[in-house]
Chains A and B, each alone.
Chain A
Amino acid sequence: MRKLLAVVVIALCSAVCSAVYALGAHAADALPTESALDKRVTALAQDLRCLVCQNQTIADSQAPLAIDLKNQIREKIAQGMSNDQIIDYMVQRYGDFVLYRPPVKAATLGLWFGPAALLIFGLVVLFRYLARRRRATDAPLTDAEHQRAQALLGMTDKESK
């Protein structure tokens, strides 16, 4: 019964997913083809943070500042600036915060490598714990421990009867 339910759920999910995907593909087809300029603007805008609504890129945001900045990007491209120059232009004004992918430097080392360091730390602790546990179980019992264990087992035997 459980298995049947799982199969039905998976089937339903994949049906919904493919339907959504098909819809999305269809919507994309319906849009007019973007020019190379638009694509470059969008690509750059997707790497830049909107400072008004801080968890959106300026590509996603419709805040007035985001729209202004998209227009600026378009203008800079028209002036013949390279992508790097445009990114620099934004960083000069808004700082590294404007970048969705912060640069690797002293202040951001923790951000970039902190999670990996924590993972390694966790793995080291885990393996040391497991190794210690294995050693502890492998050690044979001494006579005194045997007697004590038997005494305890005997007691529970009686109690359970």
Chain B
Amino acid sequence: MKRYLPLGIFAVIAAFLAIGLFLDPREVPSPLINKPAPAFSLPQLHQPAQTFASDDMKGKVWLLNVWASWCVACREEHPVLVELARSGAVPIVGLNYKDERRDGLRWLAQFGDPYRLSAYDYDGRIGIDYGVYGVPETFLIDKNGIIRYKRIGVVTPEILRDKILPLVRELNGNA
């Protein structure tokens, strides 16, 4: 019995390390889940003269997707968002984060525009209110303006299918 003690200790340490290997240290749990989405009002990307306010989406279940033309990972998730917009399952609002207006517009022209509109957060202040630290980030906000889900990083087809869309259906059904 005693002979196996070191082996047992080794197994425990190995198990901890193995779990650690598969955790993503970038995925920090957001304190904003189930809290009201911070209200904001920003100029729109396409029409600088017009503003978009988060309250405009009250009564709708919607996605807020933080993106930037300089963000390489955004390109990876972009086709998924374009496809989602085409399906019409949930409206997507973009938050163009710390970007040059010209670059953002060109990026959308090049890769397609899945957004109902994009709010233009040039100095990243709204990003800070939403605790954004790694673009892309995506928030699912319910009809009462409560953040229900946050994805840090690329929205993959799997995450869309297994997490976001079921939650959208649930939120649309219950409220």
Please give the residue numbers on chain A whose beta carbons come within 8 Å of chain B beta carbons, in ascending order: 51-52, 54, 64-65, 68-69, 72, 91-97
- Given A64-B98, A68-B124, A93-B129, decide whether A51 and B31 contact each other with a Cβ distance below 8 A: no
Q: Please list 14 pairs of residues, one from A and one from B, whose beta carbons are closer than 8 Å in the complex, sorted by A's number.
A: A51-B28, A51-B133, A52-B133, A64-B124, A65-B133, A69-B128, A93-B32, A93-B128, A93-B130, A93-B131, A94-B28, A94-B133, A95-B31, A96-B31
| Alpha-carbon distance A133/B130, docked complex (angstroms) | 61
Please give the residue numbers on chain B whose beta carbons come within 8 Å of chain A beta carbons, in ascending order: 25-26, 28-32, 98, 123-125, 128-131, 133-134
Q: Is the CB of B31 within 8 A of A93?
A: yes
| B interface: dominant SS | loop
| A interface: dominant SS | helix
Q: Name the A residues within 8 Å of B32 (CB-CB).
A: 93
| Alpha-carbon distance A51/B26, docked complex (angstroms) | 8
Q: Is the CB of B134 within 8 A of A51?
A: yes
Which of B98, B129, B131, B133 has its CB near the most chain A CB atoms (within 10 A)? B133
Q: Is the CB of B28 within 8 A of A95?
A: yes
Shortest A119–chain B CB gap in Å is 17
Q: Name the A residues within 8 Å of B130 (CB-CB).
A: 93
| Alpha-carbon distance A96/B123, docked complex (angstroms) | 24
